[in-house]
Amino acid sequence: MKAGKFWAWLTFGLGAAYFIIPLLATMEFAMRMRRGTYSFDAFAVVFGDPRFQQTFGYSVVAAFFTILLGVLIVVPTAYWIRLRMPHIRPVIEFITLLPLVIPAIVIVFGYIRMYGSNSPLPFLGSARGTDALLVIGYAILALPYMYRAVDTGLRTIDVRTLTEAAQILGAGWGTIIMRLILPNVLIAVLSGAFLTFAIVIGEFTVASLLNRPAFGPYLQNIGANRAYEPAALAVITFVVTWGCMSVIQMLARFAPKSANRPD
């Protein structure tokens, strides 16, 4: 047992070293900007760069709309499947997992070929349309995570009884979804939302191929042209990802643990 514990600590220690050293190294590199001494100059340069503010702002707005679109698509669907059409659930689950199978670069390649300015749906004909297509693409990339989160949330409430109770009280579908289902799965939706945010904020492939001024292409551009700023940006991105994941962990603590009627 003693030997087992030793090996466990050794494995954990080596693993921890592999994961922590690059973070320390990145931080150290970012602070090397001023010659001969450590400073936060690189961070100051990054935060002062108007393109940083613009692209980061753009990605935050894109993430917001992605979450909105994802919720609008996923919540009613997952609810309806649980309520009325459990038999087609495997089909829906299969579709929601497809974005993990089809690489993002392939999906966006399809968009570029299908939605050009001469097509029946000319998304790429205008800047606004391309923004919309970017958000749609992100919603597709986030679909597996969003659907899983919402479906797990719905599992903890008794959808059928709640719906019937609401209908007896005279509620329409809009009221049921907005005032009954959504508040009940809010925590699940929020954890899906933060995961979506973490995925979208530094996304490179889709934004770059659609030529949108997002944070991901900006990161790549800085990486190709600067020395110390990329390290500072990596630290910032890591902190943002860390923040999103911590919020998800905290939300999980508030989520209802037991189901009324587990199925």
Partner 1 sequence: MATISLSEPDAARAVPPTARAVRLPTQWLGVAPFFLFAILFLIAPTAYLILGAFQTPNGAFTLNNLAELWQPTIRAAYWISIKVSFASAVIGALIGLAIAIAIVRGGLPRWVRSATMTFSGVASNFAGVPLAFAFLATLGRLGLVTIILRDIFGFNLYSTGFNILSFSGLTLTYLYFQIPLMVVIITPAIDGLKKEWGEAAATLGATQWQYWRMVVIPVLWPSFLGTVILLFANAFGAIATAYALTGSSLNIVPILLYAQIRGDVLHNPHLGYAIAFGMIFITGMANVFYIWFRTRSERWLK
> Could you tell me the CA-to-CA distances from 42 to 22, 30, 157 in Å, in that order?
18, 6, 49
Nearer to partner 1 among residue 137 and residue 153 (C-beta) = 137
CA dist 220 and 154 (Å) reads 39
Least distance in angstroms from the C-beta of 29 to partner 1: 4
Nearer to partner 1 among residue 104 and residue 171 (C-beta) = 104
Nearer to partner 1 among residue 136 and residue 154 (C-beta) = 136
Nearer to partner 1 among residue 188 and residue 231 (C-beta) = 231
89-104 burial by CB neighbour count: b if 16+ within 10 A, else e? eeebeeebeebeeeeb
Close Cβ partners of 67 (under 8 Å, ≥ 6 residues apart) = 142, 192, 193, 196, 197
Nearer to partner 1 among residue 140 and residue 189 (C-beta) = 140
CA dist 180 and 159 (Å) reads 10
Coil, helix or strand at residue 31: coil
Least distance in angstroms from the C-beta of 262 to partner 1: 14
Nearer to partner 1 among residue 193 and residue 234 (C-beta) = 234
In one-letter notation, the amino acid at residue 95 is I
Q: DSSP class of residue 226?
A: -
Least distance in angstroms from the C-beta of 95 to partner 1: 5
CA dist 137 and 211 (Å) reads 13
Identify the helix (H) or strand (E) that includes residue 176.
none
